[in-house]
Amino acid sequence: MDIVDVADVEDSVAQFGERYLRRVFSAAELEECSNGTDMRRLAAHFAAKEATFKAIGTEDDAIDWRSVEVRLGASGNTTVELSGPALGLATRAGIVTVVASVGTTRRHATALVVAERSPEAGPEAGEV
C-alpha cells in the first residue's frame, strides 16, 4: 500500500518539469495523465508504482520506476504491467499476478497492490 500527497507531485513537476516526468512515468502513463498535467492521476500512478515495488519485494534492488507501468481504466479498473528489472524480480519471486486498486481525493492518492505467487514457487521465492 502507498499514499502520495498530490501537492508533492505538483511541487516536483514545478521544480523539475520534464526531467521528473520522464524519469518516473512511461510515455503511455503521461498520455493517460493529460500529458503530465493531471496531478491527481500522476499521484495515483506513483502510489501504484510504489505499492507494486513493496508487493513484489524490491528491498534494495535497482529498479527503474518506468519498469512498473500503471494503467488507470476509465471504469476504475487498474492494471499493472511489469517489464525489465521489475519483471525479472517478480519472476524470480514466482509472482504470476499483480492486482491493483487506486483511489484519489483532492489531496491524496492511495494504492493497494496485491502480488500473487504461483503455488509452484519454491520456498526460496520472496514473500508477498
Partner 1 sequence: MEHQIRQVIAESARLSVDASELSPTTDLYAAGMTSHASVNLMLALEDTFAVEFPDSMLRRSVFESISSIRAALEELTSKAAA
Query: C-alpha 72: how far from its chain's center?
Result: 11
Q: Which three cell numbers stand for residue 6?
A: 498530490
64 binds partner 1 (CB under 8 A): yes
Closest distance of CB 16 from partner 1, Å: 5
CB of 99 to partner 1, least distance (A): 20
For residue 23, state whether it binds partner 1 (rule: CB under 8 A).
yes
Q: How far is the CB of 60 from partner 1 (least distance, A)?
A: 5
- Contact letters (x/-) for partner 1, 94-123, by CB under 8 A? ------------------------------
Nearest to partner 1 of 10, 121 (CB atom): 10
Minimum CB separation of residue 122 from partner 1 in Å reads: 25
57/46 Cα distance (integer angstroms): 17
Assign 20 to helix, strand or coil: helix
Task: Identify the CA nearest to 70 among candidates 44, 106, 104.
Answer: 44
Indicate whether 18 belongs to the interface with partner 1 (CB under 8 A): no
CA nearest to 76, candidates 51, 102, 42, 50: 102
State phi, psi for 35 to the nearest 5 degrees: 55, 40
**Structural contact between residues 47 and 109, judged by C-beta atoms closer than 8 angstroms:** yes
Point out which residues bind partner 1 (CB under 8 A).
2, 4-5, 8-9, 11-12, 15-16, 19-20, 23-24, 46, 50, 53, 58-65, 85
